[in-house]
Chain A
Amino acid sequence: MGDAGVFNHKHIIALRDLSADDIRLLLTTAENLKEINSRDIKKVPTLRGKTIINLFYEASTRTRTSFEIAAKRLSADTVNISPSTSSSTKGETLSDTALNLLAMKPDIIVMRHNVSGAHYFLAKRLSCSIINAGDGAHEHPSQGLLDMLTMKERFGRLDGLKVAIVGDITHSRVARSNIQGLTKMGSQIFVAGPPTMMPPGVERLGNVTVCNDMREAVDGADVVMMLRIQLERQGKTLLPTMKEYSRYYGLNRETLKLARPDAMVMHPGPINRGVELSSEVADCDQSHILNQVENGVAVRMAMLYHVCGGGAVEAG
């Protein structure tokens, strides 16, 4: 057991790098901070005077806004830099961009990047904390944490939960972060999707069972997490048509009946209605898609708070 309440990471790049205690601490902090978001004055002075740069190489209104609100509720100053306004189009390297940003003396850089591992690259070169808001097909730790927080609130525990993750596992950083985090917290994960979207050795990522048929994964599940299909990523070689995908790997009422009666449906958003989820499932009581958004701010506040007081510098 580590020293409860001490978070010894300067960066949060991957849930793979965190211990169960670290994750527990982040989730507890997030739960305790949720109160702030329901007040009239939704702000605490904790990170007053801190500068946080949101550096987004990929468009993501949802995640960027959530990080920005989280930073503002902690009284930090935020600067948003996104590809269209950055100099990356002029061919500036990530390393040079980062060094330029460093001149602004940020305390934290929250980055989304399309290349897996770009955050480790940055962490080796910069003195500030780095938080990963999604890197390539690697990890998306804030999404993983907020998914876990939503599940924990619903079931009061993560230990022993049966979680089905369905869709394109190969290209999903959400799947990887959930698999890494949930495994550490004692959940069982069942993944399903077309074999063209199932990466080699996925069962070694954690407590993962690969199911050939989506129904096997959903059978008896406490949580059914549907991943977003991104046409621009999957291209034409992995799937024949969206119609066929939704027929075999989309969640509809019939398939959902196989899960536990109190099962919750999750989706990292934005949803392709009629593809991953039928509309009636997306809008049903079991759907927790909006809760996920709400918990996102609390989880990101917890991440910002803990890296600001992080201890020893960790290896990449």
Chain B
Amino acid sequence: MGEAGTVILDGMGVRRSLTRIAHEILERNKGVEKVVLVGIRTGGVHLAHEIALRLEEIEGGTVPVGAVDITMYRDDIKGHSPHHPVGKTDIPFSLEGKRVVLVDDVLFTGRTIRAAMDALMDHGRPSCIQLGVLIDRGHRELPIRADFVGRNVPTSLKESVVVTFDADNKPIDVLLEKEER
């Protein structure tokens, strides 16, 4: 990834976006009853925790947060290509009948979301799945769209979007980087 890119969303902007997403989730689901958050490893998990904090602040109570690792559901596993390390899927609650908000940092081709939905389905049958992302950078390759979007950022395929986190897994900012070829 190389040198730092352009900041397209600063710390304040990230926090505001997450707060707005929290409100939209409440509005859409009419509260937090039956709402669970599942973040996609690794950035999505950190953001899911941030959103859960906000939901709990506004509504009280606790909102369960899980983590899903989509490595075993990828569609690009082929022989003789370097492999992705496997992270742990950790959903310590039942998804049965729950309103699941899947959280990721950046929505791009949609393939990760497809994999994550397959993984969720293998864990149980939620009543619905919604998608929240901090950044939607376009270039979808599958018919997938987000329900909650922090910011839409038009990008070229040669660029990449990176959400940075501090040592406590709190989001810092969002960078737009020129992909090195």
Complex interface bits, A290-316 against B, C-beta within 8 A gives 1, otherwise 0: 000000000000100110111100000
- SS of B interface (majority): loop
Q: Is the CB of B83 within 8 A of A44?
A: no
With A39-B123, A44-B122 in contact, do A29 and B85 touch (Cβ < 8 Å)? yes
Judge if A36 is at the interface, Cβ distance under 8 Å: yes
With A41-B122, A44-B72, A45-B73 in contact, do A32 and B88 touch (Cβ < 8 Å)? yes
Q: Is the CB of A39 within 8 A of B122?
A: yes
Stretch in A1-9, A90-98, A190-198, A238-246 with 4+ CB within 8 Å of B: A1-9
Q: Is the CB of A32 within 8 A of B86?
A: yes
Q: Which one of B69, B73, B82, B118 lies within 8 Å of A309 (CB-CB)?
A: B82
Judge if B8 is at the interface, Cβ distance under 8 Å: no
Judge if A281 is at the interface, Cβ distance under 8 Å: no
- State the CA gap A305–B87 with chains docked (Å): 13
Q: Is the CB of B72 within 8 A of A33?
A: yes
Q: Is the CB of B80 within 8 A of A32?
A: no
- State the CA gap A252–B89 with chains docked (Å): 40
With A39-B122, A40-B124 in contact, do A32 and B81 touch (Cβ < 8 Å)? no
- State the CA gap A1–B87 with chains docked (Å): 20
Q: Is the CB of B82 within 8 A of A6?
A: yes
Q: Is the CB of B73 within 8 A of A44?
A: yes
**Chain B interface category by residue count:** 20 to 34
Complex interface bits, B60-101 against A, C-beta within 8 A gives 1, otherwise 0: 000000000101111001111111111111100000000000
Return chain A residues, CB-CB under 8 Å to B84. 5, 309
- State the CA gap A311–B78 with chains docked (Å): 11
CB neighbors of B among A15-49 (8 A): 25, 28-29, 31-33, 35-36, 39-41, 43-47
Complex interface bits, B137-150 against A, C-beta within 8 A gives 1, otherwise 0: 00000000000000
Complex interface bits, B104-124 against A, C-beta within 8 A gives 1, otherwise 0: 000000000000001100111
Q: Is the CB of B87 within 8 A of A32?
A: yes
Complex interface bits, A197-227 against B, C-beta within 8 A gives 1, otherwise 0: 0000000000000000000000000000000
- State the CA gap A39–B88 with chains docked (Å): 13
Chain B nearest CB, measured from A230 CB (Å)? 36
Closest residue of chain B to A107 (Cβ to Cβ) is: B79
Return chain B residues, CB-CB under 8 Å to A31. 88
Q: Is the CB of A311 within 8 A of B80?
A: yes
Q: Which one of A25, A44, A46, A308 lies within 8 Å of B85 (CB-CB)?
A: A25
- State the CA gap A47–B72 with chains docked (Å): 8
With A40-B124, A41-B122, A45-B72 in contact, do A309 and B81 touch (Cβ < 8 Å)? yes
Lowest 5 A-B CB distances belong to which pairs?
A309-B83, A5-B85, A44-B72, A32-B88, A46-B72
- Interface residue ranges, B against A (CB under 8 Å): 69, 71-74, 77-90, 118-119, 122-124
A-B contact pairs, 10 of them (CB 8 A): A3-B82, A28-B86, A31-B88, A41-B123, A43-B122, A44-B72, A308-B83, A309-B80, A310-B83, A311-B80
Q: A33-B72, A46-B77, A129-B79 provided; 19 other pairs, C-beta below 8 A? A: A3-B82, A5-B83, A5-B84, A8-B82, A32-B86, A32-B88, A33-B86, A35-B89, A39-B122, A40-B124, A41-B122, A43-B122, A46-B74, A47-B77, A305-B72, A305-B86, A309-B81, A309-B84, A310-B83
